């Protein structure tokens, strides 16, 4: 009996080796900005506002994410890693508390912008704490565990949002603020800036292994759009990489039209309560985490372009299902709508892995700069999709937002089929 116990002890020590206490701060950040915020902000705004205002608020969160280059530059130049993590978490905390207490549309937008910028500031330095403090052969496993903590935090946040529901949405935001306050305490005690920065930022090509909501993700904001990448961007736009970016912009913006309205859309179009829709999102996000490893193997075996097409095709089918359910069954098709949305979330595992791989392969300006452009396009698409989704839903109903999502996925799929990305794909 001693041998299995010794083996178990060795196994536990092996995975504990790759985990650090400060990962808990990123789990709490994931619970807040990737779990609670996407559910609670739309619910609060929809109580006294319109679908257009919901879109504006969620677009402001994504717009705040575009501040990542500023925070990255400050971290690199002045060694402000720890200050950016703690300051970003503090900004999120203050924004959520204020959002829960006011009822002014302009204030909502400004506070959403602050929350997005704060989460981008905190997320910007996550991978730097790994790559500047540990040898390169440990990066992949350490960042993989960091992703697991963040994704697990998202699932937990979605479940908390489901428990609180619409009637306690404001209390939910105060709960989210409390979680980020705890994250500040954890970061304060456990994080230290590395003594010397890297002369050249290394390329970290792990995909974002969590649900669609990208704001604050350590993977999304590590590589950011630089001035050098902008100078090199014009010729790159007329390459296969530029064609891929067009596909990504259309498909990501279409999906953002649905994700920015998700709990309100499910309630208004299908009669699904926020408690149930949040729990369903959490289950789908949890299942999706198990798909990243198989998606990586499929990408290696079949080519990243084919995995991307599979993800776009799955999303097109799921969005078409949502749209038809709205017009044919309406509020009587709640469970069917949740299943269709679960397919949308599961498809993200395919899209995240394949899009990251395609960026690394196709970018003519280098992997790191290419990933910065890719992340900027994702953030811009999130802004555009949320604005268009809210505007369309306000004018023509929530079916219009589903139509935009279907159009984005379908056009992206067609474009990916009519023109190959390159010889390797």
Q: Residue 289 maps to which CATH number?
A: 1.20.1250.20
- 253 C-beta neighbours (distance < 10 Å), count: 26
274 in a structural domain: yes
> Rounded CA gap, 359 and 353, in Å?
10
Match 């599961």 to its residue by tokens.
346
Report DSSP letters for 355-388, one per residue. Answer: HHHHHHHH-TT-HHHHHHHHHHHHHHHHHHHHHH
142 in a structural domain: yes
pLDDT digits (tens, 9 = 90+) for 346-366: 999 999 999 999 999 999 988
50 in a structural domain: yes
Which of these, 254, 266, 262, 278, lies nearest to 381 by C-alpha position? 254
What confidence score (pLDDT) does residue 2 get?
A: 46
Rounded (5°) CA angle 304-69-242: 35
11 in a structural domain: no
423 in a structural domain: no
What confidence score (pLDDT) does residue 214 get?
A: 60
Give the range of the structural domain holding residue 264, as residue numbers without chain letter.
Answer: 21-418
Is-above-0.85 flag for pTM?
yes
Question: Helix, strand, coil shares of the chain as percentages rounded to 5?
Answer: 80, 0, 20
243 in a structural domain: yes
* Tokens (6 digits) for 176: 């989210």
- Burial degree of 190 (CB within 10 A; 0-12, 13-18, 19+): middle
Put residue 79 in one of left, alpha, beta given phi > 0 → left and psi -120 to 50 → alpha.
left
What confidence score (pLDDT) does residue 7 get?
A: 46
5 in a structural domain: no
pLDDT digits (tens, 9 = 90+) for 301-355: 999 999 999 999 999 999 999 999 998 876 778 999 999 999 999 999 999 999 9
* Tokens (6 digits) for 285: 């996000």
* Tokens (6 digits) for 94: 């203050």
381 in a structural domain: yes
- Burial degree of 397 (CB within 10 A; 0-12, 13-18, 19+): middle
What is residue 132's three-state secondary structure? Answer: coil
* Residues in contact with 365: Cβ distance below 8 Å, sequence separation at least 6, in sequence order: 229, 232, 233, 236, 373
> Rounded CA gap, 405 and 125, in Å?
32
What is residue 339's three-state secondary structure? Answer: helix
Rounded percentage of the chain residues whose pLDDT exceeds 90: 64
List of the chain residues with pLDDT < 50: 1-12, 423-424
Give the number of domains in the chain.
1
Distance of CA 350 to CAs 204, 288, 313, 322, 354, Å? 18, 9, 11, 20, 6
* Mean predicted lDDT score pLDDT of the chain: 89
Structure letter (DSSP) for residue 206: -
Q: From the DSSP assignment, how many helices (H) and strands (E) are in the chain?
A: 20, 0
Report DSSP letters for 167-195, one per residue. Answer: TTHHHHHHHHHHHHHHHHHHHHHH----S
């Amino acid at each position: 009996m001693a041998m299995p116990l010794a083996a178990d002890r060795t196994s536990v020590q092996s995975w504990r080796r790759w985990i650090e206490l400060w990962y808990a701060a990123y789990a709490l950040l994931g619970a807040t900005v990737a779990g609670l915020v996407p559910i609670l902000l739309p619910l609060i705004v929809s109580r006294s506002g319109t679908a257009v205002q919901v879109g504006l608020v969620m677009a402001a969160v994504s717009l705040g994410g575009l501040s990542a280059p500023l925070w990255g530059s400050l971290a690199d130049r002045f060694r402000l890693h720890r200050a950016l993590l703690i300051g970003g978490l503090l900004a999120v905390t203050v924004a959520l508390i204020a959002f829960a207490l006011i009822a002014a549309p302009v204030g909502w937008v400004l506070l959403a912008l602050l929350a997005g910028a704060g989460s981008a500031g905190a997320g910007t330095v996550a991978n730097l704490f790994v790559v500047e403090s540990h040898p390169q052969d440990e990066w992949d496993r350490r960042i993989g565990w960091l992703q697991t903590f963040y994704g697990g935090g998202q699932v937990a946040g979605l479940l908390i949002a489901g428990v609180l529901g619409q009637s306690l949405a404001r209390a939910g935001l105060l709960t989210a603020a409390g979680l980020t306050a705890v994250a500040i305490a954890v970061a304060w005690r456990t994080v230290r800036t590395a003594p010397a920065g890297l002369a050249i930022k290394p390329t970290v090509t792990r995909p974002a292994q969590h649900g669609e909501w990208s704001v604050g993700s350590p993977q999304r904001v590590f590589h950011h759009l630089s001035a050098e990448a902008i100078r090199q961007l014009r010729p790159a736009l007329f390459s296969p990489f530029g064609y891929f970016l067009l596909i990504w912009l259309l498909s990501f913006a279409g999906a953002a039209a649905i994700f920015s309205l998700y709990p309100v859309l499910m309630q208004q179009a299908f009669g699904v309560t926020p408690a149930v829709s949040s729990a369903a999102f959490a289950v789908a996000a949890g299942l999706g985490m198990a798909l990243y490893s198989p998606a990586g193997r499929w990408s290696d075996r079949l080519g990243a372009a084919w995995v991307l097409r599979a993800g776009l095709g799955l999303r097109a089918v799921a969005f078409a299902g949502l749209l038809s359910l709205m017009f044919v069954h309406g509020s009587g098709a709640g469970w069917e709508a949740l299943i269709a949305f679960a397919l949308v979330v599961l498809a993200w595992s395919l899209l995240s892995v394949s899009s990251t791989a395609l960026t690394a392969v196709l970018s003519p300006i280098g992997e790191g700069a290419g990933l910065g452009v890719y992340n900027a396009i994702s953030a811009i698409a999130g802004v555009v999709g949320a604005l268009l989704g809210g505007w369309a839903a306000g004018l023509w109903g929530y079916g219009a937002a589903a139509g935009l999502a279907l159009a984005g996925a379908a056009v992206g799929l067609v474009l990916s089929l009519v023109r190959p990305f390159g010889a390797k794909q």
